Amino acid sequence: MMADVAIEATSMECSEAKIAAVKRSGADDVRFRFLTIAAASVVVVLFLGMMGAMTEGAWLSIRTFGATFITSQKWNPVTEQFGALASIYGTLITSILAMLLAVPVGIGIAIFLTEICPRTLRRPIGIAIELLAGIPSIVYGIWGLFVFAPFFQEHIQPWLVDAVVGIPILESLFGGPPYGIGIFTASFIVSIMILPFISAVTRDVFDTVPGTLKESAYAMGCTTWEVVGHVVLPFSRAGVVGGAMLALGRALGETMAVTFVIGNSHRIHGSIFAPGTTISATIANEFTEAVGDVYHSSLIELGLILFFISFVVLACAQIMLRILHKRAGGVSG
């Protein structure tokens, strides 16, 4: 009888200990959820705070110029006439050109590292490419101004200008005096800067492709070109697009390197060899010299426009990734 009572008491103590442990784990889970929600809320608060502060700073310019600030390319601090069209055009065109130059090369590097490169060379080459992402942008700008721009001006640009003479569209697109600096030079420098992002992300995505899929394709007699085109890229296209969009966001906001080599001209030219400007370059060049409330507010509105462009680009990237995920048969969260 005493033994039964002892066993019952022991079982009750064990049950109480289990209940207490469950309660503690539940409380820990509640605290963990609260901390994660708070961490996520910080991002939202920062986003709204930045939007509010920039809108407040740009309100004078918005009220003064209205929609003409976006549609005009006039930028005259003396008469306090400001328009952002040239800066918006330069931001978009340099980013697009940089992506056109960097995306094929970045994907090609990723294909080489995952499918063709000997194993002993994959890590050194991969590290060398990723080191490009650690170089400060001002170093790229100095290299572009003192090395690439003179070389381009003397040896490449004159040949291209002469080669397109008489061709209607190409003559206006590649024409003009050989300055060396300009929109194309800035785009080329930015393409080098975003190349590590594209190649690193794409390489990591290619590594996630199951080996059995590629081995099956090779067993059926497919070449490396066919395996990459029909197996690797379709399987990892969402990740490739994500890496490209990440690089595009980097290209849109690049400042110092672009400021060195773009020419900083507030005019829209038909030639990509002509000088231009971007939103970030304009702000970097003129913010410390802004005299007057309207001038200062106009620069802040430029920053607000760049903020909006970046937000739209990233939102479109998310939508594109969801569409690709659904087409691949996944369930979008």
How do residues 200-242 score in pLDDT, each as one tens digit? Answer: 889 888 888 888 888 888 888 888 888 888 888 888 888 888 8
Q: Which pLDDT value is given to residue 333?
A: 40
Contact between 196 and 110 (Cβ < 8 Å): no
Q: What is the DSSP string of 135-181?
A: S-HHHHHHHIIIIIHHHIIIIIHHHHHHHTTT-HHHHHHH-S---S-
Average pLDDT score, the chain: 85
CA distances from 204 to 119, 170, 207, 208 (A): 15, 38, 5, 7
pLDDT tens-digit series, residues 235-293: 888 888 888 888 888 888 888 899 999 988 888 888 899 999 999 999 988 888 888 88
Tens digits of residue pLDDT in 86-100: 999 999 999 999 999
Range scoring the smallest mean pLDDT among 17-26, 28-37, 44-53, 292-301: 17-26
Q: What is the pTM of this model?
A: 0.83
pLDDT digits (tens, 9 = 90+) for 108-155: 999 998 888 888 888 888 888 878 878 888 899 999 999 999 999 998
According to the model, what pLDDT value does residue 331 have?
41
CA-closest candidate to residue 301, choices 34, 139, 69, 107: 69
d(CA 263, CA 278): 10
